[in-house]
Amino acid sequence: MKIQTSNQKIILTDLTFDRKFRYKEYARNDEEVRTYNVSDKKVPSVTTILSATQSKEKQDSLRQWRERVGKEEASRITTQAATRGTEMHYVLEKYLNGQGYLNLSKEGELPRTMAHTVLENMSDIKIIYGTEVNLEYKQKWAGTCDLVCESNGVLTLGDFKQSNKPKREEWITDYYYQIAAYALAHDLHFGKIERGLILMCTPNLVFQKFIMSKPMLEEYKEKWLARVDKYYTMNSQLLIKKGQD
């Protein structure tokens, strides 16, 4: 994969685009919780389920961080990271779709450089099957996967992440759950996923790649299904409680 610049347009070369999978699009709702419209049902997103079933330890850790830095500063950091991550994702999506994209504003410079750093570390990817792919599983969950591709010769799901600082592997288990959820949905409707990739970059341009092997994918699929069971059990208990009030 090579980045080519011409007349203020940046495109990638040495990539094949194959649209053999007929992916569907589902409207997304960002209300109190994120859902997707699948047929006539609002299906919870992968991130909604993950958030609702977070461990108490993780909830406490996030609360303590907010208390330590202050509510306003925590909000600023979170908003800035989200804005930067959204722009980085958009750059990557446009490049990988062969369209090219160049935001010359001051705000676009850092996310573009971060996206370039990610692309420079994607030499093992030769075929793109889809970007920003909507996937759903039996109307139990839905979500948007950043990338479906062929990596090292096998069908792979990729997720792009921006991070304020480098991550230890034990800090990113939710990302593994996400890949597992998307893999289950892709396996059901399209083709068997053999590999997962999490491609991460910091504002200081530190790049990290986390690889999910086939055995790791299978392990996290089981863990994800347990989280889904927990989510629906919690919701059922809440409905029962509301009915009694």
Give 25 or 15, the one with higher predicted confidence: 25
Other C-beta atoms within 10 Å of 142: how many?
Answer: 26
Angstrom distance (rounded) from CA 11 to CA 183: 28
Q: Which residues of 32-57 are buried (b: 16+ CB within 10 A; e: fewer)?
A: eebbbebeeeebbbbbbbbbebeeee
Residue range 156-189, pLDDT digits in tens: 999 999 999 999 999 999 999 999 999 999 999 9
Q: What is the mean pLDDT of residues 192-218?
A: 97
By DSSP bridging, strand 34-38 and strand 16-17 are unpaired
Most confident of 51-60, 77-86, 90-99, 212-221: 212-221
Residue 238 to residues 30, 43, 232: CA-CA distances in angstroms? 21, 17, 10
Nearest to 184 by CA among 236, 242, 145: 145
Q: 232 is written with which tokens?
A: 């629906």
Q: 168 is written with which tokens?
A: 């230890």
Residue 191 predicted with pLDDT over 60 = yes
**This prediction's pTM:** 0.89
Q: 105 is written with which tokens?
A: 């504003």
Domain map (residue ranges) of the chain: 15-236
CA neighbours closer than 13 Å in the CB half-sphere of residue 26: 27
Residue range 70-107, pLDDT digits in tens: 888 878 888 888 889 889 999 999 888 877 777 777 77
CATH class of 15-236: alpha beta
Phi and psi angles of residue 60, each rounded to the nearest 5 degrees, phi first: -65, -40
Nearest to 133 by CA among 83, 93, 86: 93
Q: Under a CB-based contact definition with an 8 Å cutoff, are residues 202 and 115 in contact?
A: no
Specify the amino acid at residue 166.
P
Q: What is the mean pLDDT of residues 142-167?
A: 96
pLDDT at 65: 77
Percent of the chain with pLDDT over 70: 91
Q: Under a CB-based contact definition with an 8 Å cutoff, are residues 24 and 34 in contact?
A: no
The strand pairing partners of 11, in sequence order, are 4
Q: What is the mean pLDDT of residues 12-17?
A: 79
